[in-house]
Structures are given as C-alpha cells and as structure tokens.
Amino acid sequence: MARHPTMDAVIAEATDLLGATEGLSVVPHAPLAEYTSFGIGGPADLLVIPHDLSALLGVLPRLSALAVPVAYLGKGTNVLVSDAGVRGVVVKLSGVLLGLQTSGSEITAAAGESLGAISHLAADAGLSGLEFSAGIPGTVGGAAIMNAGTQGGEMAQVVSWVEVADPNGEVVRLSPEQAGFDYRRSRLREAGRLVCRVGLRLAPADPREVHRRVCEILQRRVGKQPLAARSAGCIFKRPAGDYAGRLVEAVNGKGLRVGGAMVSPKHANFIVNIGQARAQDVLELARLVQSRVREEFGVDLETEICLLGEEVC
C-alpha cells in the first residue's frame, strides 16, 4: 500500500485514540480477506469492532474530527477488497450490532443481524414478505444499503424506515423515499451513511406456508448457484430486458479464468475464487467478460459488487 506521511500520522493518532476507547476491539493491519466471502484483499490500517451501538456512535465524531477515512463492513458478502488493502478505519458491524424485535407485523432489526436469522424469525412469527431474501448471506444493514433482492422481491418493498447515523454520531430515522432505493443501490450508500437499525413491514400469513416458500427458494438457490465456492454473489447487475448470466454464458464465459478467479461453471454471473485469487484477477476477468458481451451483444454489463480500497476503485 502506498504510504502517505500525513495519512500515516492520522492513522497512528486514530489507533491510539480507538485503542484506549471502552467498548471497541481494535485490530491494526487487519487482513480483510478473512472478513469477506470472496476471501480476497489486503489489510485495513485499522479494523474496529464496536461492542455496541453507543460505543460506535460515541467514536464517530472523534474519527470525523481526525478526518480519517471510515468504511463500513457487514458480513463482507458483496465486497471486493483491493489487493493493497484499505487506508483508514474499517468498522465491522456483523455479529455486533444485534437485536431483533417483533411488534404486530413489523420487525425491527439492528444492522448487524443476518438476513437469514430475520427471515426465520419472520417465518416462525407467520409474517410474509421477506421470503425472497432466503439464502442472501449478508446483514440487514448491508441488504438495506444495497437494496438487496432477487426476481422475487427486494428490500425496498419491505423496509418501512431506516435509522442512519451521520459522521457526528447523530441518528435520524428516514422514510424509504428518503433512503432513495433503486435497483441494487440506495442514496444511503452514496451519502456514506451508517445504517444502525431497519424497520420491516410484513404481512400476516400462515407460518407453515411462509416456511414452505423459504425452503423452496433455498432449494432453488442450491441447485443454481455455486454456494459452496468463495464469491460475492452476482458480479453484474441485470441489464434491461435480459440476464447477465445468459449473456456471459452465450459468449462462452463459463469456466473462463484469470489467475485464481474463474467464471463459475455452475452460474455464469458468479466469479469465484478458486484459490489465491487477487482482486486484480477478479477485475481483469470481469473486464474480459464485459468486453466479450459488449462486442457480441452491444450490452454494457455493470458490476454489482462494491469495491473497497482506493486502488480497485
């Protein structure tokens, strides 16, 4: 990673500050590959794991005053981390910002809760609407920010509100309109907001029927997607009127390789890490596939995954 003396000084100050702050675990030079489903990427200068929301909110204004770059990580199932790593502070939210409550047909979920846990809770409680999310392996915070979804539905259809923190640690509740959900994106991500809690409005239903639909969707995924391989889910967004997987398959993309990255032979819209892949391998392979599809069909495939770290962006 390129060193920058001013940035090094800021990071050193942040390391001292955060290391001495109650309620945070701090890991210098944390290997981010270990924290992502792709298993790719270099270290973060500093990985911060808050023990609870108040510890996190307390530290945000201090980081802001230091002007240290801050990035958020949920379960890391939709990110490709730069080989050079990430300068600044990465805050890990999965497994720490926890809490689920049901009230009538609304579920309130803290951002670090997994979508899987929420979809099981909803099914047990006889609440329908989240079945589409069965098998999406991320946190609800990451799912809200990305407006995660499938052909069967997306987060925008069930989110009733989102609580976000600004860099001063102030929490505000936003409506779905203010969150600006769109296909696999939201205004929240572009504004760099931290999602703290999400309200999900569901509909009463027979629990057995909800469980049945969840099982059906999970089985379909197992049959179609390379779930045992290391990936970040679909690599490309769905182009208008078509499917990225169909286009990639049509240009003989399945099985194509660059270094340790390969287009999955099982599903052409997944790039998988078949061992020691670098972020650069994934990006080169994605570009190769994009150029073949552009040449053959005149379609520009847009990547769906989030790039973390300066040198891949």
Nearer to ligand FAD among residue 263 and residue 292 (C-beta): 263
Give dist(CA 185, CA 144) in Å, integer: 9
Least distance between ligand FAD and beta carbon 228 (Å): 9
Is 303 a binding residue for ligand FAD by CB under 6 A? The answer is no
Task: Give Cα 67 to chain centroid, integer Å.
Answer: 24
Spatial strand order in the sheet of 24-31: 24-31, 43-50, 86-92, 70-73
Helix (H) or strand (E) holding 203: strand 203-204
Is 136 a binding residue for ligand FAD by CB under 6 A? The answer is yes
Among 32, 279, 283, 306, binds ligand FAD (CB under 6 A): 306
Give dist(CA 280, CA 41) in Å, integer: 10
Nearer to ligand FAD among residue 198 and residue 202 (C-beta): 198
Candidate segments 12-20, 67-75, 237-245, 272-280, binder of ligand FAD by CB under 6 A:
67-75
Is 258 a binding residue for ligand FAD by CB under 6 A? The answer is no
Candidate segments 21-29, 52-60, 145-153, 275-283, binder of ligand FAD by CB under 6 A:
145-153
Is 263 a binding residue for ligand FAD by CB under 6 A? The answer is no
Q: Restricting to residues 185-244, which ones interact with ligand FAD according to CB under 6 A? A: 189, 194-195, 225, 227, 231-233
Q: Restricting to residues 103-122, which ones interact with ligand FAD according to CB under 6 A? A: 111
Least distance between ligand FAD and beta carbon 298 (Å): 26
Among 11, 46, 49, 146, binds ligand FAD (CB under 6 A): 146
Among 78, 128, 186, 303, binds ligand FAD (CB under 6 A): 78
Among 39, 42, 85, 138, binds ligand FAD (CB under 6 A): 138
Least distance between ligand FAD and beta carbon 312 (Å): 13
Give dist(CA 255, CA 225) in Å, integer: 14
Rounded alpha-carbon distances, angstroms, from residue 168 to 61, 130, 172, 189, 243 = 4, 32, 11, 17, 41
Q: Which of 84, 14, 89 is nearest to 49 (CA)?
A: 89
Is 60 a binding residue for ligand FAD by CB under 6 A? The answer is no
Least distance between ligand FAD and beta carbon 208 (Å): 24
Residues 80-103: b if buried by 16+ CB within 10 A, e if exposed: bbbbbbbbbbbbbbbebbbeeebe
User: What residues have CB less than 8 Å from 290, skipping those under 6 apart?
Assistant: 236, 300, 301
Q: SS3 for 106?
A: strand
DSSP state of 4: -
Give dist(CA 213, CA 200) in Å, integer: 19
List residues binding ligand FAD (CB under 6 A): 37, 71-79, 93-94, 111, 136-139, 141-143, 145-146, 148-150, 189, 194-195, 225, 227, 231-233, 306
